[in-house]
Structure 1
Amino acid sequence: MKILVTDPEGYVGSLVVACFTQQGHEVISVSQANAGAALSLIQLAVTDLQNFDAVIHTGEICGTQALHPQIAGNLHYRDAMHLANLAKAAGVSRFIYLSSCSVYGAGEEEYVTEESPVRPQTPSATCKAAIESDLLTIASAEFSPTILRPAIAFGASPRIRFDVVLNNMAGLAWTANKINIPGKGLSWCPVVHVLDICQIINCILQAPRPLVHQQIFNVGDTNHNYQLIEIAAMVAEVFQVENFSFGHHGFGDRGLFMTFDKIHQFFPDFQCGWNPRQGAEQLLNFFTLTDSIQSHFTLTRSPYHRSENHLFHTVSIA
């Protein structure tokens, strides 16, 4: 397959590029930040997308949302729909958009499915919900958008994020020998490893197009809904940390509980290969290896090694 992937410098996008390249696909990446790729997304023309089999739009650049959320949302919406309309005009038959469980908001229902109403509560989630809606609107017999709503991602990546729950806990356990638990720790939090997200993208690309045409899928495993205190306990056991603190980060006691029956009905062979404890073990190995490499090539330790880093204090469950 010839595949266009956006945001190769991102947490998920960098892994998507690596995974599909290793599988032997021809992968071309485009950047939203005009860095890390040969092309910038907004500079694309219809002719650039001709002869592609699929486009994988891995989402928006998260850091820009915090600075100017409304402007960033408008630009991300513009970029996504620009790309989708170009792909449709160029005859690209498959378009996968990596949205987020954040479109459900705080999860007022006992659990959320793909049929649950979306209640985005942040500019980023509002942007994603708008992109989802308009992508499905432009579907046609020749153009098949598929929407993915992953649970909260975790795990190592070439461009790792630390503003997601498990990674944040692991990062602070490594640097400061403690774990901050948002709220009272009772909120429900669905999680999925980034490699499992890559796995389901591959399943969708290999599936008959009518099966995934105009479909929305929650991505994860119903058994991988955990209360925050449970995730913290797994991370603490792996990192051998006993120092816990609780915070007030706007978390209610409910959080979000997702079900994933649909994706397992459509793809019976798909199974999430990673649980949170395995993810924590992977991150411990990742940090240890990174530290070892750094020590080998430099005489001075990183200023972030075993010291508190403000990057680990902003936690998001979306």
Structure 2
Amino acid sequence: MRTLVTGHDGYIGSVLVPLLRAAGHDVTGLDISLYADGVLGPIPPAVPALRVDLRDVEPEHLRGYDAVVHLAALCNDPIGNLNPDLTYDINHRSTVRLAKAAKEAGVGTFLFSSSCSLYGAGLDDRPLDEEAGFAPVTPYGESKILSEQDLAGLADDDFSPVYLRNATAYGFSPRLRGDLVVNDLTAHALLTGEVRLLSDGTAWRPLVHVEDISAAFLALLEAPRDVVHNRAYNIGQTSENYLIRDVAEIVRDVVTGSTVTFAGGASADSRNYRVSCDRIAAEVPGFRPAWTVRKGVEQLVEEYGRHGLTIEQFTGEGHQRLKKIRALLAAGRIDEQLRWTS
């Protein structure tokens, strides 16, 4: 397929694009590249790309594509809380704008990178499936719900949206995110000797490796339309739901000599949910996740060491999304609407 990937210069995109190309797909990117210089290790070969803000996409940008894979977004809760309306503008309204432009341009498939964070404070005792109710606790989570609902309204015989509700990501990417819990705990364990918990560790969270997220996008891109049309899928494995304190213990076990510590004032995290990933396992046999958290921690330790990561690098603006945004704002390189000034 001729495929446009938004956010191709990001954490997931830097893993997904090479996978799509290796599978024979013709890939173009679309990104304003706020985080493109946050590199650890060699980056994948460049692909043709449009430097267009999501808020400015028009149908002519999308003509000739078979599919859009939509990753681009303000990507975590702290950034969402910095300016909630901007989160709704970019994550929700611009997603709908992109989808309408794609539909007008004749694009048949639209894969949306949603999130299990829309389950929010999931209080059920069992893992939540895709029919569970939503209980978002952040603008980020709510923006994903609104996007899914509006995309569903565009679905018809010519336009097929699919919603990938990714579990919390982790794992090595050339454009590393340090603000993800497994990546963060592993880096601090390796570089400071402390598995540093910012909460009390009692919250449940589903976790999925960035390579498995990428594999899910590829499998759903190639899946039969009549199976996946207008369907939501929790992305991960049902067996990969963890208490955060158990993740910390895995990291401690892998990183010899490290100890678990708690930040001052650590309290319960309101984001607390487990999910079932049985639907994608049953309906999309092309998706076979390969990673566990323990394997992912081992990979991160190896890659952090291979590329000489320091704690100053890891905690700096290169790998911390909110710090990067604040640094760009302070330098006047972007304005308050997160648009480049030059």
Normalising by the smaller structure, the TM-score range is 0.7 to 0.9
Q: For residues 157-306 of structure 1, what are the structure 2 equivalents within 5 Å?
A: 157-247=173-263, 248-252=265-269, 255-291=272-308, 304=312
Which structure 1 residue ranges, 5 or more long, are not aligned? 295-301
Counterpart Cα distance in 1 of 2:285 and 2:22? 24
Paired amino acid for 1:30: L
Q: CA RMSD in A?
A: 2.4
The TM-score normalised by the length of structure 1 is 0.87
Which residue is equivalent to 2:20?
20
**SS of 2:307's equivalent?**
helix
Give identity over the alignment, percent: 33
Paired amino acid for 2:58: A
Which residue is equivalent to 2:115?
100
Which residue is equivalent to 2:144?
128
Match of 1:109 among 124, 137, 140: 124
Q: Is the 8 A contact 2:195 2:260 kept in 1?
A: yes
TM-aligned CA deviation for residue 32 of structure 1? 4.5
Q: Is the 8 A contact 1:59 1:99 kept in 2?
A: no
Q: For residues 24-39 of structure 1, what are the structure 2 equivalents within 5 Å?
A: 24-32=24-32, 37-39=49-51
Q: Is the 8 A contact 2:119 2:136 kept in 1?
A: yes
Match of 1:85 among 69, 78, 100: 100
Q: Is the 8 A contact 1:172 1:309 kept in 2?
A: no
CA deviations 1:270-296 (Å, max 9, x no partner) are 3220001110111111111111xx8xx
Counterpart Cα distance in 2 of 1:38 and 1:75? 17
Which residue is equivalent to 2:153?
137
TM-aligned CA deviation for residue 125 of structure 1? 1.0
| TM-aligned CA distance change 1:216 to 1:250, over 3 Å | farther
| TM-aligned CA distance change 1:16 to 1:45, over 3 Å | same
Counterpart Cα distance in 1 of 2:112 and 2:221? 12
Q: Is the 8 A contact 1:183 1:250 kept in 2?
A: yes
The TM-score normalised by the length of structure 2 is 0.81
Which structure 2 residue ranges, 5 or more long, are not aligned? 37-48, 323-342
Match of 1:58 among 68, 71, 77: 71
Counterpart Cα distance in 1 of 2:271 and 2:214? 29
TM-aligned CA deviation for residue 153 of structure 1? 0.7
Farther-moved stretch of structure 1 (282-291 vs 181-190): 181-190
| Paired residues, number | 303
CA deviations 1:41-77 (Å, max 9, x no partner) are 3343212212211100014132642432222322332
TM-aligned CA deviation for residue 173 of structure 1? 1.3
Farther-moved stretch of structure 1 (8-17 vs 190-199): 8-17
Q: Is 1:45 matched up with 2:58?
A: yes
Counterpart Cα distance in 2 of 1:149 and 1:250? 26
